[in-house]
Amino acid sequence: MARSYSMEGVDMRIHGSVLEIRTEGERTHANGSSAANTFESFLLAMDPPGVLFDIRGAHYVFSDLEWQERARSLARMCQGRLMTVVDREDQSEQTRAVLDIHTERGGRGRAFRSRAKALEWMRDMLAQA
Q: What is the chain's Cα-based Rg? A: 13
Residue 32 has a pLDDT of: 64
Helix (H) / strand (E) element for 102: namely helix 92-104
User: Are residues 14 and 51 in contact, defined by beta-carbon separation less than 8 angstroms?
Assistant: no
Long-range contacts of 6-11 (CB under 8 A, 24+ apart): 7/34, 7/35, 7/38, 9/35, 9/58, 10/35, 10/38
Residue 8 has a pLDDT of: 84
80 secondary structure, DSSP code? T
β-partners of residue 21 are: 12, 53
Residue 11 has a pLDDT of: 92
Local confidence pLDDT in tens for the 129 residues of the chain:
458 888 888 999 988 889 999 999 998 877 767 778 888 888 888 899 999 999 999 998 988 898 889 889 999 999 999 999 999 999 999 899 999 999 999 999 999 999 999 999 999 999 997
Residue 1 has a pLDDT of: 47
Half-sphere exposure of 114 (CA within 13 A, CB side): 4
Q: Name, in order, each residue with C-beta under 8 angstroms of 47's C-beta and a sequence gap of 6 or more.
A: none
| CA separation for the pair 25, 16 (Å, rounded) | 26
| CA separation for the pair 60, 106 (Å, rounded) | 26
